[in-house]
């Protein structure tokens, strides 16, 4: 499964901006002078987002690799869509 870092590295400027915005939604609980995103949590939530899109039944069907790629692409599409919404919240954070 593709990582958020790989999406950033391979992405266009718009995708890179969306990844950075998604990371910014994952600030550490104890925000002091360091306002650097919690990239570990952002990566985890991106993976969970892909898994939610993919659905648990998809992993038992033939063509799993294609299903995973479609889910990854849809997750990237969601990041791009989220990036157009000011002050959005991570959908995985909301579920927690």
What is the pLDDT at residue 35?
78
Give the HSE-up count for residue 72: Cα atoms under 13 Å, Cβ half-sphere: 16
Distance, in Å, from the CA atom of 15 to the CA atom of 62, rounded to the nearest integer, reads 30
Look at 55 and 42; give whichever has higher pLDDT: 42
Cα separations (Å) of 21 from 46, 50, 87? 12, 17, 9
Q: How confident is the model over 2-23, as a mean pLDDT? A: 96
Residue ranges per structural domain of the chain = 4-26+37-95
Name the token pair of 11: 């992405």
Q: Which band of pLDDT confidence, cut at 50, 70 and 90, is reported for residue 49?
A: very high
Q: Which band of pLDDT confidence, cut at 50, 70 and 90, is reported for residue 66?
A: confident
In the DSSP assignment, the letter for residue 58 is G
Q: How confident is the model over 62-83, as a mean pLDDT? A: 89
Contact 5, 43 (CB under 8 A): yes
């Amino acid at each position: 499964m593709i990582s958020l870092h790989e999406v950033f590295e391979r992405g266009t400027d718009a995708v890179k901006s969306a990844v950075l915005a998604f990371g910014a939604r994952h600030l550490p609980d104890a925000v002091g002078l360091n306002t650097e995103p919690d990239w570990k949590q952002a990566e985890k939530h991106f993976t969970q987002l892909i898994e939610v899109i993919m659905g648990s039944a998809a992993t038992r069907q033939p063509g799993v690799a294609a299903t995973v790629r479609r889910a990854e692409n849809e997750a990237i599409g969601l990041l791009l869509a989220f990036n157009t919404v000011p002050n959005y919240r991570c959908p995985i954070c909301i579920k927690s």
